[in-house]
Amino acid sequence: MSMEQTLLQKKSLPDKFKKISFLIFGIGLLTVIISFFVDSHRFAFNYNILFSFLVSIALGNMFLFAIEYLAGAVWSTVFRRINEIFISFVPFVMVIGIVVLLEMHSIFHWTYKDVLENDEIVRGKTPYLNETFFIIRFFVYTLVWTLFAYFMRKNSLKQDTTYDQNLTYRNSKLSAFFIPIFAITITFFAIDYLMSTEPHWFSTIFGVYYFSGTVLSALAILTVVSILLHERSYFDKILKPDHFYNLGALLFAFVNFWAYIAFSQFLLIWYANLPEETFWMIHRWENGWEIFSFILIFGHFLIPYFALLSQQAKSNLNRLKIVSIWLLIMHYVDIYWLTMPSGFKQLVFGWIELGFIVFCVGIIMILFYYRYERMKNIIPVGDPKLKRSLEFKL
Amino acid sequence: MENKILYSVSGIFEDVNKLISAVKTVTDSGYTKFDVHSPYPIHGLPQAMKLKPSKLGWVTLVFGLSGALFAFLFMYWVNVIDYPLIVGGKPFYQLPAYVPVMFEVTVLSAAVFTVAWMLFIMFKFPNNSHPLIDTEYMRKVSVDKYGITIQASDPIFDLTRAKEFLQSLGASEVFEIYFRESNVKPKIFDKKFILFLGITSLIVSGVTYFILNHLLFMSPFNWMHEQFRLNPQSKLTFTKPETTNLTPVEGTVARGFLPYPYTDRPDLAEKNLINPLLPTEKTLKVGKEKYLTFCSPCHGNFGHGDSRLKGQFPNPPTLHSDKLRNMKDGGIYHIITVGQNIMPGYASQISSDERWAIVHYIRVLQRAINPKESDLK
């Protein structure tokens, strides 16, 4: 007990952080509002990307949280509070997502009546792709994710005061239910918000593709936030390089996983060579979009792969920090690459896109600030695995 | 004992944490030639021993990359240089199709060469004359104990001091290990070993023989042989009478094939049949191709009856005889279709249009050998 009381006092974030995050948020918000009046089509597409990215971060952390309980992982217990901060983003992110519903006509052209009349392929998909069902699905996602996020966090936070070991068991059960539901909802989410921007195209691996990016970005944001807090001794230096080594190894694994899935999708489309599938890839290989295809090949796979390859690199905090930020940007670019060419024939990239990135950073910082301040402890002090986690050795 | 040369002083440790702190002390006391043994890899030990990072990772990297390169070059050589084949309408050089193979070969080559390098280069595998081998110390540290070995060649080594030092660190047992007097030869030609090899090979070959010749034909392994489906050319049991092949219904005409009505009447064929094709360049090209494929082996490339068969088959008469030159197109067509003397009919191999095209080509050959007056002007 004494160790916990002396070691694990939570420090609050400096006021400067709050000011900076509000500044970034303000700049982002201003650009976003201006962009709505300048080019509402581009605004809507970018907003969809922003929403999908935020969902990635929140849901990915829920997945990591569930995996920790299911696998009985010990090393990651010290990071779980950071996970939970991002998990608690879920309801806010879904509120942000309502704008996507309002702007549906600018993003999804299957919502137009004249498209439905003239386009037999899109008409055939109306049992799934129609506005009512789309909105229903949005609220189903919101409900399911929010409930899971709420109960997972509730059990975990309650343990801080009650030290009840049953809560760990209860969260394990919850996680076991969550994983299949997560698999289904994230697949449908990817189909709804990313794949249906091009309703003629389909790929059965698409849900897995989005999932790989989701987990990668969740790991990346977990890594970068933990390292930043650790460097400013918010963790009282209780974290060892061995803990970060595991994060680095997982990052490395998921960089490979993403490449594996992305290449699988490409290879099958390329081999089968069916016009109904290839046009999507071809479109991303011309009219300037090929720049982003190349950025993904190098930036999302080759550069982080070689940056994380050696054993020393995975426990080198500076390198982990840079690679994690880089991977977060790459996941944003990945979603951009998935959806943007569906709405625009020629490459579009400019102040609107940058403004949305700033806005996204601002949202994450502000949400992080408030959720962090509401936390009582920075590590789960009541968790029975905590002692082993602190003593974790590779 | 006196004339033996000391190799090392080795201590046994019971506990990992004790071992690591002991290793740290050994390092700090200035010993440089020492080694630690444990039955499993311990993280943090290399740091405690102040070892340089292992170079094995570079071996993996180099062999992994050369595996990828090898796979790429091999596939490129096969698909582009040595035996270009069009597969699925793709170009010969097709990087996406190479990637899975390159990936697998990278993994295989990296893994195999890492292990091989470790065993044969770093551990000097076939060499079994190391003084630690076959000692009580080694037997213990390869099961459930840990050990530190301080070599006698260390510059600050002193037998009694090293022994006391290890004991003070918490070693439960301390051994003195000596070089062998003579190199013990490996006992490969030992009687027992030969017997073991013989028995093993007998068992292995017996089992293999049994599996391949008997087991595979026993139930349930033979289930796949006996399936309730019709094999090609097998007897049909549901027809009357039971036959192997069903003949088409009488009077059936296959698509694209009209029955030939003049089989036994060459005179009528010559009288009634008219060449439906015009002697255009395209037709003549087809005719030439088919003539060279089907006719030229016996009739010769220019129709002189100079066959390439070199007496294996009687030579046919020349196609430039007056009889054939004056024969109408229908007559020649009839001969190609049903055959003549020992020449078989080609109706089943050459389509009707192609036969007419061949007739045109034969006319061209005839006119080239015996040109008309007007051609020579």
What is the ipTM score, two decimals? Answer: 0.80
Q: Which of B53, B61, B89 sits opposite A273 (nearest CB)?
A: B89
What are the tens digits of pLDDT across the range B211-238?
999 998 888 888 877 777 777 777 777 7
Residue A1: per-residue pLDDT: 42
Which positions in chain B touch A392 (Cβ < 8 Å)?
none
In sequence order, which ranges of A308-350 are alpha helices (DSSP H)?
Answer: 311-314, 317-343
Between residues A181 and A391, the one the model is more confident about: A181
Token pair recorded at residue A386 = 């905590």
Closest to B29 in 3D by CA, of B192, B139, B164, B123 = B164
Determine the residue of chain B that is closest to A270 in CA distance. Answer: B96
Using a pLDDT cut of 70, give the percent of chain A over it. Answer: 98
**Among B96, B89, B75, residue whose Cα is nearest residue A285:** B96
Q: Which DSSP state fits B50?
A: T
Is the pLDDT at A33 greater than 70, yes or no? yes
Residues A165 and A180: their CA atoms lie apart, in Å, by 25
Residue keyed to tokens 């004991």: B167
The verdict on a CB contact (< 8 Å) between B57 and A310 is yes
Is the per-residue pLDDT at B4 higher than 80? Answer: no
Q: How far apart are the C-alpha atoms of A94 and A100, rounded to whole Å? A: 10
A51 or B312, greater pLDDT = A51
Q: Which residues of A touch B (CB under 8 A)?
A: 242, 263, 266-267, 270-271, 273, 309-312, 393-394
List CB contacts (< 8 A) between A310 and chain B: 57
Mean pLDDT across the stretch B104-122?
Answer: 93
pLDDT at A266: 93
> Is it the case that residue B51 has pLDDT exceeding 90?
no
Does residue B255 register a pLDDT over 90? no
Q: Which of A256, A270, A306 to mutate to test the interface with B (most CBs of B within 10 A)?
A: A270
Q: Which helix (H) or strand (E) holds A375?
A: none
| pLDDT above 90: residue B345 | no
> pLDDT of B258-304, one tens digit each?
778 888 888 888 888 888 888 889 999 999 999 998 888 888 888 88
- Alpha carbons B209 and A108: distance in angstroms, whole number: 66
Q: Is pLDDT at A176 greater than 80 in this prediction?
A: yes
Contacts by residues B342-348 (CB-CB < 8 Å, ≥ 24 positions apart): B342/B314, B343/B298, B343/B316, B346/B294, B347/B260
Residues of chain B above pLDDT 90, percent: 20
**Encoded tokens for B140:** 């213990």
The alpha-carbon gap from B102 to the nearest alpha carbon of chain A, in Å, equals 13
Q: Which of A330-339, B106-115, B189-198 has the lowest mean pLDDT?
A: B189-198
Q: Residues B137, B138, B143, B145: what is their CA dihedral angle, to the nearest 10 degrees? A: 40
Closest residue on chain A to B96 (Cα): A267
Q: How far apart are CA A249 and CA A172, in angstroms?
A: 24
CA atoms within 13 A on the CB side of A13: 22
CB contact under 8 A, A393 and B53: no
- Is the CB of B43 less than 8 angstroms away from the CB of A263? no
Enumerate the residues of chain A whose CB falls inside 8 A of the CB of residue B99. Answer: 263, 267
pLDDT confidence of B184, banded at 50, 70, 90? low
Q: With CA atoms as reference, report the closest residue to A296 among A340, A337, A352.
A: A337
Mean local confidence (pLDDT), B140-151: 88
Report the candidate in A229, A241, A237 with the shortest Cα–Cα distance to residue A7: A237
Q: What residue spans of chain B are helical by DSSP H? A: 16-28, 45-48, 56-76, 95-116, 136-141, 159-168, 191-213, 266-272, 281-290, 296-299, 322-326, 329-338, 352-369, 373-376
Q: How many CB atoms lie within 10 A of CB A38?
A: 12
Domain ranges (residues) in chain A? 13-390
Whether the upstream peptide bond of residue B344 has omega within 30° of 0, thus cis, is no
* Amino acid at the residue B150: I
Q: Which pLDDT tens digit goes with each residue over A334-383? A: 999 999 998 888 888 888 889 999 999 999 999 999 988 888 888 888 88
Domain architecture of chain B: domains with CATH: 6-178 (no CATH), 266-376 (1.10.760.10)
Distance, CA of A43 to CA of A36 (rounded, Å):
5
CA distance B94 to chain A (A): 10
- Find the residue in A nearest to B41 (Cα): A394
- Quote the minimal CA–CA distance from A390 to chain B in Å: 16
